[in-house]
Amino acid sequence: MVMVATIPGLAAKAEEPVAVTGATGFIGGEVVRQLTGGGFPVRALVRPAKAGRRQDRPGVAWLNGTLGDAAALVRLVRGCRMVVHCAGATRGLTPDDFREVNENGVRRLAAAIHSLPPVKRPRLLHISSLAAREPHLSPYAASKRGGELVLETEFADLPYTILRPPAVYGPGDRELRPLLRWLARGVLFAPGGAAARLSLLHVSDLAAAVRAWLEYGRGRDEGRTFTLDDGRPGGYAWEDIRRCGVDFRRRPVLRLNVPRRVVRLAAGINTARARLVVGCRPMLTAGKVRELYHPDWVCGHQELRAACGWEPRIRLLDGLRLMAGDDCGRRFGTIPGDVS
């Protein structure tokens, strides 16, 4: 049974909720928070194993199911105005660990939408990754590109749009947290050369982009792929990130360039250990090392701005300051009391 709390004064919108997958995750949770805060009722898919992580809030209807449950996916999308697909696998030991969620999950969700009469099919916003631009680097990157290809080749007649965010950080993040924790303590471990550059995006800005697409996106932009970033032209070099740390701490930050062979060795040990534990899904693998040392993870957001008017608000220094007021940020080390 689906339990829903309604938002007063939003009866018209409540007739057509927005379906969200991955709603208990890092990105999906922020998307749900911003959508409900903006008056969009949400129908959120939650795996039974993750049901304890859901946060009951006004305007959210939780639906038990998985990306492997075709019937649940049809129930999820039927009667919705739009579908935001946030679910994804970022950790894995084998290519199949990523492919099952990032490619086959997209296929099953698209099939559920396609099973509806054409006039009742909701728009689909697929949250992919900038890693899909370089599918040769890792099983993760290949699976994200695979999910995009599912839409482009098998379901080209669906009203879909793809977003490719770069590295996303913010409250609840587990991937960039170690780097930012050490940065706040005064040490930056830089797994790349001086010429390497990357774009970043705060999770709040990503969720705001989703909302802007829902509110202002135009039908002629369907079938397109958009990148988005925090608005810093040319992205960040590792030295730029170090300087942000200095400005945040108001104290020096030491940059340590980490040799690739050291991270490759750590990845090998991590992978070997994961093979001994049933169900273990490691983050640091040989594929992740290739991603980390890729020299160009820069993108922009101009095309998305033209399509729906979205503009990012939070650059890295602002993001670090936001973390200082977050419970997670208070565990990052010695953080100045006044960072305004």
Kind plus residue range of the DSSP H or E element containing 192:
none
In the numeric block, the tokens 């983050």 are attached to: 283
Per-residue confidence (pLDDT) for residue 30, from 0 to 100 = 96
Structural domains of the chain in order of their starting residue, each with its CATH number: 9-170+200-231+298-315 (3.40.50.720)
- Please tell me which of 120-124, 326-330, 334-338 the model is most confident about, judged by mean pLDDT: 120-124
Q: Give the pLDDT band (50/70/90) at residue 54.
A: low
> At 75, phi and psi to the nearest 5?
-60, -35
Looking at residues 64-72, what average pLDDT do you find?
Answer: 96
> At 84, phi and psi to the nearest 5?
-110, 115
What does the longest C-alpha to C-alpha distance in the chain come to? 60
How far apart, in Å, are the Cα atoms of 338 and each of 30, 126, 253, 325? 26, 39, 18, 10
pLDDT tops 70 at residue 162: yes
Q: Give the pLDDT band (50/70/90) at residue 25.
A: very high
Q: Which of 144, 299, 327 is nearest to 209 (CA)?
A: 299
For the segment 316-328, what is each residue's pLDDT rounded down to a tens digit? 999 988 877 664 4
Looking at residues 228-237, what average pLDDT do you find?
Answer: 97
Per-residue confidence (pLDDT) for residue 193, from 0 to 100 = 82
pTM assigned to the model: 0.89
Higher pLDDT, 111 or 180: 111
